[in-house]
Amino acid sequence: MNNFNDWNKMIIDEFRANKGKVGGQFENMHLLLLNTIGAKSGRKRVNPVAYITDSDKYVIAASKAGADTNPDWFYNIIAHPELEVEVGDQRVQVSAAIASEPERTKLYGNMAQKYPGFAEYVDKTSRVIPVVILSQR
């Protein structure tokens, strides 16, 4: 297991042990656990992801902290858009949709307003950071 996987596992374990609450750099953020199926491997994957809400939907951004590539989970969602998220101590079945313009820009702006680090991610990359809308099924 590499350092990133170890770090993710620690966050996931803390999230589950504390009904969705984590400390450290994520202490004041809303996190959910994104349970996807690998696009290539077909294996179950879990990733902690910051979110905001828009009405009754969860909104996440495939920012990868401003990297020039999308996170792997983004491709998993494209391949398998029916998935499960963990919010607090609840498991929620959702359908994922990639936001198109101008909704993408509006939602990403809302994310950056709530979590200023997301504004910095835009400056780090030349790609348009995708926004994913998770609607409860």
Task: Say if CB 131 and CB 108 are below 8 A apart.
Answer: yes
For the residues 100-127, what does the mean pLDDT come to? 96
User: CB-based contacts of 102: which residues, under 8 Å, 6+ apart?
Assistant: none
Region of 86 (left: φ > 0; alpha: ψ -120 to 50; beta: rest) is beta
Condensed to tens digits (0 to 9), the pLDDT of residues 61-113 reads: 999 999 999 999 999 999 999 999 999 999 999 999 999 999 999 999 999 99
Residue 1 has pLDDT above 70, yes or no: no
Q: Please tell me the pTM assigned to this model.
A: 0.93
Selection from 19, 26, 28, 72 nearest residue 46 by Cα: 72
Alpha-carbon span 113 to 82, nearest angstrom:
28
**Mean residue pLDDT across the chain:** 94
Q: Which CATH superfamily is domain 3-136 in?
A: Electron Transport, Fmn-binding Protein; Chain A (2.30.110.10)
* DSSP 3-state percent helix, strand, coil across the chain (nearest 5): 35, 30, 35
Domain ranges of the chain: 3-136
Task: Output the six-digit token pair for 42.
Answer: 């077909």
CB atoms within 10 A of CB 68: 9
Three-state DSSP class for 59? strand
Helix (H, G, I), strand (E, B) or coil at 113: helix
